[in-house]
Amino acid sequence: MLKLNSKLPNLGITIFTRMSQLANQTSAINLSQGFPDFDGPFALREAAAQFTLQGHNQYAPMIGIAALRDQVAKKIKFFYNKNLDENNELTITPGATQAIFCAIQATVHTGEEVIVFDPCYDCYEPAIHLAGGHCVHIPLTLPNFTIDWQHLTDAINPKTRLIILNNPHNPSGTILSASDLAQLADLIKDKAIFLIADEVYEHLVYDQTTHHSLLKNAELFAKSFVISSFGKSFHVTGWKVGYVAAPPVLTNEFRKIHQYVSFSTTTPLQFALADFMAKYPNHLIELADFYQQKRDLFCNLLTASKFSFSAAQGTYFQLLDYSKIKPHANDLQMVDWLAKEHGIAAIPISVFYETAPSSLRFIRLCFAKQDSTLRQAAERLCAI
């Protein structure tokens, strides 16, 4: 019998698929997978229909349609005061995950090391392995999920080729400061180390706090792939459209991979996004307030519960510490119990670690939901 030796032998279905399946089986409120239970703006969806009907249904240019790259360049100028060459520094991709994969393949060679910070998003390590690289996990310092700069300094060696930053950070909801970026720039200034900045939640930063993108730091951007997601910013995660900003030399290498992974991104959706961004520029400006209202509603309702938490600084995820409820249960046991006994589906964050601390007692809940969903979920959580 023909046998296929798996390149990823230890991987099965993702925790997101597993918990969504459990939510369906138990009729639980699904706060596990990170997608809204409401639709994107009507004008955006209407534009997608119109551009489809108008015949924009064939291959788009490999780098993305000019109108959308132009809107992204204008957005980056507005938010980060950074001028980019849309022809040589911006590429539209079928989702941020594909962009991350292509950036890793373009950068990492066999035997080289990539530093990630635990808890880290689950798509990073498989892509690193497929590139022949080795993933070096550095745990963020609890309870505030901050970078241990001494640990990072000690981990860097001649084999280190890439560092992946997720900011705002999923699953913790924390953000990097300007000081963090300054320390990073100083640490790698004389080293042949590249950066991937996973900034898909760039516009979901709260309490009037600034998002410190790598686009704002010229020294860091010179070594960076900065990746973002239209799906997160426009409530259309199923559209799977993202983009990567990078200096020309990195963009050139990125596109060599991208053109043979997907070649291009869905055409009518690109036209729809470009049209909507041009007509409704305030959408992104108002997005943080929109989601902060949901965060604040959810957190205020949960003050009556036995869970402990600090309000998320960014993303649309809220961590809850369940130590006072089931102190001896690990988080995998906790989410199973929560779904089956109380009708709430959540994500255990230990799955984002190479080796999770034994004391870890956090679960992640998504608040990108209708207010009625959040109220119903909070009622169940407060009844525990």
pLDDT of residue 127: 97
2 lies in some domain = no
pLDDT of residue 10: 84
pLDDT of residue 128: 98
Residue whose C-alpha is closest to residue 101's, from 198, 238, 203: 198
Q: What is the arithmetic mean of pLDDT over 131-159?
A: 97
Q: Per residue in 226-284, pLDDT tens?
A: 999 999 999 999 999 999 999 999 999 999 999 999 999 999 999 999 999 999 999 99
Whole-number Å distance between alpha carbons of 167 and 26: 33
Q: How far apart are the first and last CA of the chain?
A: 52
pLDDT of residue 2: 84
pLDDT exceeds 80 at position 81: yes
Beta strand 224-229 with 242-245 is: antiparallel
pTM to 2 decimals? 0.95
Q: Per residue in 192-224, pLDDT tens?
A: 999 999 999 999 999 999 999 999 999 999 999
Which of 259, 279, 299 terminates a domain? The answer is: 279
Query: What radius of gyration do the chain's Cα atoms show?
Result: 21
Beta strand 194-198 with 224-229 is: parallel
Which of 254, 279, 304 terminates a domain? The answer is: 279
Instruction: State the total domains in the chain.
Output: 2
User: Residue 330 CA to chain centroid, in angstroms?
Assistant: 25
Examine the domain organization and report whether 112 and 33 are in the same domain: no
Percent of the chain scoring above 70 in pLDDT: 100
Examine the domain organization and report whether 247 and 334 are in the same domain: no
Tell me the torsion sign for CA atoms 302, 307, 310, 311. negative
pLDDT of residue 11: 83
Domain span holding position 268: 56-279
Examine the domain organization and report whether 30 and 143 are in the same domain: no
Average confidence score pLDDT of the chain: 96
pLDDT exceeds 90 at position 337: yes
Examine the domain organization and report whether 106 and 164 are in the same domain: yes
Examine the domain organization and report whether 183 and 290 are in the same domain: no
pLDDT of residue 218: 94
The domain that holds 258 is classified in CATH as 3.40.640.10
pLDDT exceeds 90 at position 304: yes
CB atoms under 10 Å from CB of 6, counted, come to 8
Examine the domain organization and report whether 230 and 320 are in the same domain: no
Residue whose C-alpha is closest to residue 69's, from 242, 319, 307, 196: 242
6 lies in some domain = no
